[in-house]
Structures are given as structure tokens and as C-alpha cells.
Amino acid sequence: MTIDELTERVIGCAYYVHGQLGAGFLERVYENALRIELNAAGISVKQQQPVNVWYAGELVGDFQVDLLVVNRLIIELKAVENLRKEHEVQLVNYLAAANIDDGLLINFGTSVDIRRKFRRYQRKV
């Protein structure tokens, strides 16, 4: 499956989860539900996957990815009224630290808001 096909399937699952749960839950509820939906769709997903952050050859910290899909796509989830620029920057930093090229920032607010992010700049064709 190409990364575009994978991304499309993940987005479909996110919309389905929001359609079933609606708005108003904490991020963790949507994270758990999306993991269940992705597994049901036959998509391999790891939840709260740890990633180390290195600087000048030294470990300087770590973080946990909300969802890591087939080791190719990071999903960062929010449940806020509106996404902000710092949410997008956070995901791009996660992509760089994890050495993964593609990510989705998914907000389960009053409606689903999805932003696709890349580790490297990609020109729109």
C-alpha cells in the first residue's frame, strides 16, 4: 500500500470514529477508538510508541507518539476547539526525531480537522 493510500484509509477511520463518538471526549478516548478502528481495518498500529531525541550524539529527551501506523506514519491527536501552529510544529519535530517522513495531525473537535505534515518540504504538484 502506498503512503497516500494508507493516509486515505487512516483519514476514513478517523471520520468514522468521530461519527460514532461525536465531540467532547479527551484525546485518549479518540486515540483508543482510532487504534481499535485501524486494527479492525487490518492496519498495524502501535500506541504511545516511545521515541528518543538525540542532540550532538547524546540523548537529550524522549516523547511518545500517539499512534505509529505500519512504522511509516505518525498520527498526533488533539481534541481542542482549534488547531494551532504549534501543534503542527510539534508533529514536524516528532517526524524529524523519529526519522519518519509522513504524519497526520488529527483534531477531534466539533468536527474532524486533519493536517498532513512531512518531515521534509514537499512541493505541491
**What stretches of the chain adopt beta strand conformation (E)?**
45-55, 58-69, 73-78, 102-108, 112-118
User: N- to C-terminal Cα distance for the chain?
Assistant: 21
CATH topology of domain 3-118: Lambda Exonuclease; Chain A (3.90.320)
Give the whole-angstrom CA distance, residue 61 versus residue 81. Answer: 29
Q: For each of the chain's 125 residues, which pLDDT tens digit applies?
A: 899 999 999 999 999 999 999 999 999 999 999 999 999 999 999 999 999 998 999 999 999 999 999 999 999 999 999 999 999 999 999 999 999 999 999 999 999 999 999 987 555 66
